[in-house]
Amino acid sequence: MLVLNDPVNLMSYVVMVLRKVFGFDHQTARKHMLEVHEQGRSLVWTDSKEKAEHYVHVLQTWQLTAILEHNG
């Protein structure tokens, strides 16, 4: 599952959401946020489609841009 960059959401907000939703520590959440900011996307979760879809939906309620990409 990928989180994509947007010019609106604050960097601190993205870190906070990733920490809340995935339980990441600050350093991990910050690493993903910087990938999103600098590379436009970050792979934040790899699991079954059902679980990944659940997380995409949760991130969408937080107004982040998240998509699924199939492995292989």
Residues that bind other proteins (CB under 8 A): 4, 6-13, 15-16, 19-20, 26, 30, 33, 53, 56-57, 60-63, 65-68
Q: What is the CB neighbour count within 10 angstroms for residue 35?
A: 17
The answer to whether the beta carbons of residues 21 and 3 sit under 8 Å apart is no
Nearer to other proteins, 12 or 46 (CB): 12
Nearer to other proteins, 19 or 72 (CB): 19
Q: Return phi, psi of residue 50, to 5°.
A: -60, -45
Amino acid letter, 6: D
Q: How far is the CB of 9 from other proteins (least distance, A)?
A: 6
Q: How far is the CB of 33 from other proteins (least distance, A)?
A: 8
